Amino acid sequence: MMRFMRSTLLLLCGLLFSALCFAQANIRGAVKDSTGKAVSFTTISLKNKTGNLIVAYATADNKGVYSLAVPTGLNPDSLLVEARCIGYKSQAKAIRGAAPVDFILKASVNELQAVVVKSNRPFLRTSGDTLSYKVSDFSNPQDRVIGDVIRKLPGIAVAADGTISYNGKSISNLYIGGDNLLDDKYNIATKTIPQGVVDQVQVIQNHQPIKMLQNKVNSDDVALNLTIKKGAKLQLVGQESIGAGLPGNYDEDLNAMMFKDQYKAINYLKGNNTGDDVQNDFISHNQSAYLQKINNDPPATVLSLGTVNTPNLAENRYLFNQSAAASLNNLVNLKKGGQLKVNLSYVHDNQRQDYREETQVYLPNDTVRFSETERNRFRPDILHGQLTLNVNKDKYYLNDILVTDYSRKAEYSALNTNGTAVNQVFNDNTFNFSNEFNLMQPLKSNNIIEFYSYLNHTSEPENRSIQPGFNPAVFNNGNPYAQLNQTVNIPTWFTNNYFSFKIPSDFITQSYRTGFVVQSQKLESNLNVVQFNNIVTPQSDSSANRLSWNRRKLYAEAAYDLPGKLLKANLTLPLSLQQIGYSDSLYTLNKSLTRLYFDPQFRVKYMVSVENFITALYNFRNVIGNIQDIYHGYILQDYRTLYANNADLTERKDQTAALGFNYRKALVLFFWSVNASYDHVSANNITSGIISNNFQQRIVLPFQNVTNSWTANGYISKYSFALRTTFSGGVVWTSNHSNQIQNNALLPYNTIATNLNAGAETKVSDHVTCSYKANLNQTSSYSSADGPTYHIKQLVQQAELNYNPSDNLQFKLSGEHYITYQSQANELKYFFADASMKFRIEKWKTDLQLDANNFLNVKTYNALNLSANTFTASSYTLPGRIVMLRMIFNL
């Protein structure tokens, strides 16, 4: 009995043990190929069916036999056994109890390479603060110039005027092969350099161009650098284009470029009448930021023709022009380490406009209306020259820029307003020159001394005459007369000089600066009436100015920089003593004021991870008015606006606070950024307007008023490897609370503007690419004083299809659709279509291109405009269909 019990107990234990063994399963098997031969050293992995993740693995021996233990706790039914070996196709099988899992593998060649070829997608290389895009990854045969490729790069957006921004931030400079050939006029490069010449487009963050200050003084600038291919560095490069078309159009572009290490040049000559405004090549993208930095506010043009705004369309759809431009940009790197640069440009144009406009101004009690038709002609002649000498070494920095500008603009306008004819001739000649000198040197103690001197002279004599005798009731005591002449000139001398002492250290760099600014101007204006007998009399005894202005500023500034790797911060504390004096003998005006201003600025950038960062800034600025805020004599700015001031200078306190977050994952080409800012401006006076049917009179009232504005914007860009598409999008939201006085009523206004844009660029196949862009603008205006609210919405959609059946033949079809919605009116819809075909003649190494722009021949455009409480409806004449044949060849 006992023995029986013991044996059953032993049997039970045995059974239990074997059951346990079964629970800890071992998968065994053998791997063979299709001929029955063993496949040695195969990798056997255990993967879970859901996530396809490896949970355990083993290697078969040299006879192809393996044994793999299933980890405890895993259900064998949720797992697959996979066999992989180089030279064979992988295979996966399910587990069936304790049965062996054998594999018979099929041979396959180049398996590894197939995986790798798939991953040779466009790729970004990152190195510290520099991000590099390989141009060949993003370009296609249709791209002619580098600007065509830059707008397709993920993370980079190009605005309509050519301004380039990276992940939401505008770039400070575009370098070519490391050299600064064009300063901030980089449209010259993006529109001229052929894309085949550029190897990489590099984005350099926190770019500090001055060698001496690198790693000592922060810069949150982002710069772009185009690296040139080795072959292109040795020879003359050029892409010439000669075109002619109907009805009576021409388009020539002849250029010669050189990109050697020692010598760089972009020289060209171009002319066209197809709506391409050559002045856009010379847009100085950072001009306003630069002027604010050196505290120079040169006087703006006082007079204008008072003509209507240009249509809200792409410029080549409405511009009637006959432009010609010549540009010479040459840079030489001297042997001793200096750099000499000469930039010259000349523009001549003859533009005409043909418009009609109706304007309504809404006031609490009534509405004021006026209408006009216009035929205008503009003839600018602009000459710009710049000479720069730069020595940028670790032990020595010298920079001298000499700039001169000379322009003559003649403008003619035949206006018919509310039934009255008004013909105007406007001559606006500008002459200015400036010299900026900057010298930095380190002392033995490693501290840096700096000397800076800036001198500028501007003069802009303006002369506008109106015929026939316009509004005699206002201008000639009711008597008819022949002509009304307004002349204005504000010759200005400006200088800003300072001395600075920097103490660099590993932790905080201190800078101490002291300097002075002197601005000396005279405003001279006359409004004269020419009677029928040719006698010239002043319009009244209060329509002339002989105003003298002097602004002197003595300033001292302390700045602290923390140029850390994770945390970068900058605190600037400027203190200035300003003295302004102005006098005008005609009005017994003689005032002066002295102010002590403190304008602190703080900005910080914190690297949350290797590629992401947070930025924050706070600014406080005291802004005082300028000479155009205090002239007492009436100036007829445009034929409808008689303007004079009778209050003291406007003094504004401007506070700005902003916060932003920037994300980037270069490995998968994913960028996004969000920014928010708040601006609070309080001013000590407000402009007041009196509007009647024939003209506006504005005076300034000493009324404290406050303007608040909030802005939020976001940008996103992602390249999808699977779809071979770059997706990009952005949103901008602005809310502005301000006040306006019209006809002695105070009207607080709130304007909200929203902009949404989205785009996609796809490479459908090796022969077909297409792109789509949509831009939605919405503006709404509200009055908290029970006035009506107004909304305007405009949606612009652009689509483009490129088809390249062979290397020698390319087709392009594109369309642009505009829709404008507004409350209380029908919607306006316009559609423009373009087509283009390019054929390459190998024997002559020449391309022949046939373009049909606006081939649906849309000839008129109507537009609506809403701002504060003014509503404008305009109608424009458009150039219509243009068919061009171009011959393009490279040097």
Q: Which of these, 307, 416, 408, lies nearest to 353 by C-alpha position?
A: 307
Using alpha carbons only, what angle is made at residue 279 by residues 275 and 284, rounded to the nearest 5 degrees?
Answer: 140
Q: Which of 10, 54, 159, 706 binds other proteins (CB under 8 A)?
A: 54
Give the residue with the Cβ less far from other proteins, 97 or 128. Answer: 128
Rounded least distance, CB 82 to other proteins, Å:
8
Q: Which of these, 847, 882, 884, lies nearest to 144 by C-alpha position?
A: 847
Q: Is the peptide bond before 468 cis (omega within 30 degrees of 0)?
A: yes
- Residues 58-87 touching other proteins, rule: CB under 8 A, are 59, 62, 84-87
Residue pair 320/879 in contact (Cβ under 8 Å)? The answer is: yes
How many residues comprise the chain? Answer: 891
- Residues 97-126 touching other proteins, rule: CB under 8 A, are 110, 112-113, 115-121, 123, 125
In the DSSP assignment, the letter for residue 95 is: -
Classified as helix, coil or strand, 188 is: helix
Tokens of 399: 């920079």
Q: How far apart are CA 4 and CA 18, in angstroms?
A: 21
Query: What does the CA dihedral 466, 471, 474, 475 come to, rounded to 10 degrees?
Result: 30
Give the residue with the Cβ less far from other proteins, 40 or 550. Answer: 40
Backbone phi, psi, residue 228, to 5°: -95, 140
Give the residue with the Cβ less far from other proteins, 201 or 669. Answer: 669
Give the residue with the Cβ less far from other proteins, 53 or 706. Answer: 53
Give the residue with the Cβ less far from other proteins, 69 or 414. Answer: 69
Rounded least distance, CB 194 to other proteins, Å:
27
Residue pair 104/32 in contact (Cβ under 8 Å)? The answer is: yes
Give the residue with the Cβ less far from other proteins, 308 or 666. Answer: 666
- Applying CB under 8 A, which part among 12-20, 50-58, 331-339, 472-480 lies near other proteins? 50-58
Rounded least distance, CB 141 to other proteins, Å:
24
306: left (phi over 0), alpha (psi -120 to 50) or beta: left
Rounded least distance, CB 27 to other proteins, Å:
15
Distances from the Cα of 121 to the Cαs of 26, 150, 669, 807, in angstroms? 41, 18, 11, 22
Indicate whether 668 belongs to the interface with other proteins (CB under 8 A).
yes
- Residues 137-196 touching other proteins, rule: CB under 8 A, are none
- Applying CB under 8 A, which part among 36-44, 179-187, 481-489, 814-822 lies near other proteins? 36-44
- Applying CB under 8 A, which part among 54-62, 338-346, 384-392, 789-797 lies near other proteins? 54-62
Classified as helix, coil or strand, 350 is: coil
Give the residue with the Cβ less far from other proteins, 115 or 596. Answer: 115
5: left (phi over 0), alpha (psi -120 to 50) or beta: alpha
235: left (phi over 0), alpha (psi -120 to 50) or beta: beta
DSSP collapsed to 3 states, 723-792:
CCEEEEEEEEEEEEEEEEEECCEEEEEEEEEEEEEEEEEEECCCCEEEEEEEEEEEEEEEECCCCCCEEE
Q: How many CB atoms sit inside 10 A of residue 385's CB? A: 16
Give the residue with the Cβ less far from other proteins, 352 or 665. Answer: 665
Rounded least distance, CB 679 to other proteins, Å:
38
Backbone phi, psi, residue 458, to 5°: -130, 145
Q: Which of 25, 28, 33, 43 binds other proteins (CB under 8 A)?
A: 43
Distances from the Cα of 538 to the Cαs of 334, 477, 486, 542, 586, in angstroms? 58, 12, 10, 9, 13
Q: Which of 41, 532, 831, 844 binds other proteins (CB under 8 A)?
A: 41
Rounded least distance, CB 205 to other proteins, Å:
18
Give the residue with the Cβ less far from other proteins, 45 or 333. Answer: 45
Give the residue with the Cβ less far from other proteins, 55 or 883. Answer: 55
Give the residue with the Cβ less far from other proteins, 121 or 293. Answer: 121
Rounded least distance, CB 146 to other proteins, Å:
24
Give the residue with the Cβ less far from other proteins, 484 or 669. Answer: 669
Rounded least distance, CB 432 to other proteins, Å:
47
Rounded least distance, CB 101 to other proteins, Å:
16
Residue pair 847/827 in contact (Cβ under 8 Å)? The answer is: no
Indicate whether 55 belongs to the interface with other proteins (CB under 8 A).
yes
Rounded least distance, CB 132 to other proteins, Å:
12
Q: How far apart are CA 596 and CA 574, in angstroms?
A: 11
- Residues 530-569 touching other proteins, rule: CB under 8 A, are 565
Rounded least distance, CB 110 to other proteins, Å:
7
Q: How far apart are CA 348 and CA 713, in angstroms?
A: 38
Give the residue with the Cβ less far from other proteins, 3 or 118. Answer: 118
Give the residue with the Cβ less far from other proteins, 57 or 290. Answer: 57
Indicate whether 45 belongs to the interface with other proteins (CB under 8 A).
yes
- Applying CB under 8 A, which part among 47-55, 100-108, 140-148, 641-649 lies near other proteins? 47-55
In the DSSP assignment, the letter for residue 315 is: G
Give the residue with the Cβ less far from other proteins, 113 or 365. Answer: 113
Indicate whether 56 belongs to the interface with other proteins (CB under 8 A).
yes
Rounded least distance, CB 111 to other proteins, Å:
8
- Applying CB under 8 A, which part among 1-9, 51-59, 373-381, 446-454 lies near other proteins? 51-59
Give the residue with the Cβ less far from other proteins, 668 or 825. Answer: 668
Give the residue with the Cβ less far from other proteins, 106 or 369. Answer: 106
Rounded least distance, CB 112 to other proteins, Å:
4
- Residues 714-753 touching other proteins, rule: CB under 8 A, are 721
Tokens of 267: 């020289």
Rounded least distance, CB 43 to other proteins, Å:
5
Residue pair 323/273 in contact (Cβ under 8 Å)? The answer is: yes
Rounded least distance, CB 720 to other proteins, Å:
11
Interface mask toward other proteins for 625-654; x: CB under 8 A: ------------------------------
Q: Which of 12, 667, 841, 856 binds other proteins (CB under 8 A)?
A: 667
Residue pair 581/553 in contact (Cβ under 8 Å)? The answer is: no
Q: Which of 2, 23, 51, 75 binds other proteins (CB under 8 A)?
A: 51
Q: How many CB atoms sit inside 10 A of residue 489's CB? A: 18
Query: Total binding residues for other proteins by CB under 8 A?
Result: 33
In the DSSP assignment, the letter for residue 145 is: B
- Applying CB under 8 A, which part among 35-43, 379-387, 816-824, 835-843 lies near other proteins? 35-43
Q: Which of these, 639, 642, 612, 643, lies nearest to 628 by C-alpha position?
A: 643
Give the residue with the Cβ less far from other proteins, 115 or 443. Answer: 115
Q: Which of these, 794, 810, 829, lies nearest to 888 by C-alpha position?
A: 810
Backbone phi, psi, residue 15, to 5°: -60, -45
Q: What are the residues facing 514 on neighbouring strands?
A: 499, 556
Rounded least distance, CB 259 to other proteins, Å:
22
Task: Give the residue carrying structure tokens 């700045």.
Answer: 559
Tokens of 388: 């720069």
Residue pair 519/494 in contact (Cβ under 8 Å)? The answer is: yes
Query: What does the CA dihedral 663, 667, 668, 672 come to, rounded to 10 degrees?
Result: 10
Tokens of 491: 């010759």
Rounded least distance, CB 222 to other proteins, Å:
23
Q: Which of 40, 682, 750, 814 binds other proteins (CB under 8 A)?
A: 40
Site residues, other proteins (CB under 8 A): 40-41, 43, 45, 51, 53-57, 59, 62, 84-87, 90, 110, 112-113, 115-121, 123, 125, 565, 667-668, 721
